[in-house]
Amino acid sequence: MVAATGLVASGLFSTYVVYESADGWSVAGGIAAEVILKPDTVRCTKDGVTVERPWQGDPLAQVREFLEGLELADWRAYGWSAFELAYAVAGRPVGDDVLLHLVVPRTETRLSGNHALVRGLDPQEMALVEKTLTGLEPEEDTRYRPVVVDVEVGADAYRASVDTVLARIRAGELQKAVVSRTVPVTSDIDLPASYLAGRRANTPARSYLLNMGGLQALGFSPETVVEVEAGGAVSSQPLAGTRALTGDADEDRRLRENLLADPKELHEHAISVKVAVDELAGPCKPETVVVQEYMVIKERGSVQHLASRVVGRMLREASPWTAFAAVFPAVTASGVPKHSAYDAIAAVEPRHRGLYAGTVMTVAQDGSMDAALALRSVFRRNGETWLQAGAGIVEQSVPERELEETREKLRCVAGSLLAPPAEREAVARGDAPQKHLYV
């Protein structure tokens, strides 16, 4: 974790993705090949040549075709997909923004235990990575100042949004919608240092830190949208139903028992698992789709969730993109049924979600894929930095409780944000010489 963060904090790569999966950390640096999907065009870069063309039909087919045509041995792509990619797949209107951005890195570093595997196209850059990794020195945590975020911003508007969605549910338009709110971060933050501090305070299913095409983000994903193994095994991990984690063992036990007995939370979780089963039955052999875990408790930083895992085995003719399309976006971040939930979300949320509730993902030549649900994150774009959190609204929802759930989730990230040290701020202003500072 420290090595991965230090590598990108060194400034060696202007484009990078740090991705923590079940088997360790990966750092993708630079661009060997790239695909950027927008509502009307797909832009592909390989061998130094960029081609942009319009697309029709299935947008994911364009991405799959590009990746399968790469003449790079054992490639692995890293990047992200926007929540609104689901709109494009469904043929719904989408604003003019990036829907998916993947890069095959120029240099890839995979860190596990005490070992680092460095692969790349440029021997000199690989040597710099090795030199950087072996020369990392820890910084004192006291060099960083905590940043305070007001998680009450937008509280009244959120209560009103919940009431609006409840009216739609009671009118029979849908069963569930996940409604989110944004909270601005008005102070400058050091993203690598905040990622490191946040990861130490969280217990995510996946974590990530990225800087791609003007978008920066860090996050501690509570669940995976889809995991595909090279042999065709598929799984999805829906989480729905939340209570706080306070650090007091007796209080946390009381909250956990309350969660396990709450009819609203049990209903919300059960319908989410049912949707996940139905969705995986498409790309998988139906008889192989089973619920492997059901309503177990998963602790994720400042919250605890009801969690289940649905697994299956893909049909021979299916690909990881088939599985991805079947379950994306996560039912736990959209709603039931999904298309009605899209309408409800669009009616009450004032901005496109972008990466929020989309995925940070990897996909490889061997047919494997790992896509983490992009929640519990910090986002920075066009000079704006913000947090975002939502709650699942069902007929039994109470607006004040749903608002409190968003507060609980925001605290997973808000309490770990760090401002840059004074000398790094001076570098940014041009008042001091540039030097490498490692986290």
Gap between the Cα atoms of 133 and 155, Å rounded: 44
| Residue 396 buriedness (CB in 10 A; 0-12 / 13-18 / 19+) | middle
Tell me which DSSP letter residue 395 carries: T
282-302 burial string, b = 16+ CB within 10 Å, else e?
Answer: bbbeeebbeeeeebeebebbb
Q: Which residues of 143-176 are buried (b: 16+ CB within 10 A; e: fewer)?
A: bbeebebebeebbeebbebbeebbebbeeeebbb
Given a contact cutoff of 8 angstroms between Cβ atoms, the answer to whether 2 and 195 are in contact is no
R_g over Cα of the chain: 21
Q: How far apart are the first and last CA of the chain?
A: 10
Closest CA to 278 of 270, 289, 268: 289
Closest to 55 in 3D by CA, of 46, 43, 68, 67: 43
Structure tokens at 115: 């070992």
Active site (annotated) includes residue 279: no
**DSSP reduced 3-state for 433:** coil
Residue 126 and residue 29: Cα distance in Å, rounded? Answer: 10
Burial of 248 (0-12, 13-18, 19+ CB in 10 A): exposed
Do the beta carbons of residue 63 and residue 320 sit within 8 Å? no
What one-character DSSP code corresponds to residue 234? Answer: E
Contact 243, 401 (CB under 8 A): no
Which segments of 349-414 does DSSP mark as H helices, in order?
Answer: 399-414
Question: Which listed residue (108, 223, 268, 402) is catalytic?
Answer: 223
Strand partners, 213: none
- Please give the single-letter amino acid code of residue 403: L
Answer for the pair 338, 290: CB distance below 8 angstroms, yes or no: no
Residue 11's CB is within 10 A of a number of other CB atoms, namely 12
Which active-site residues does the annotation give? 223
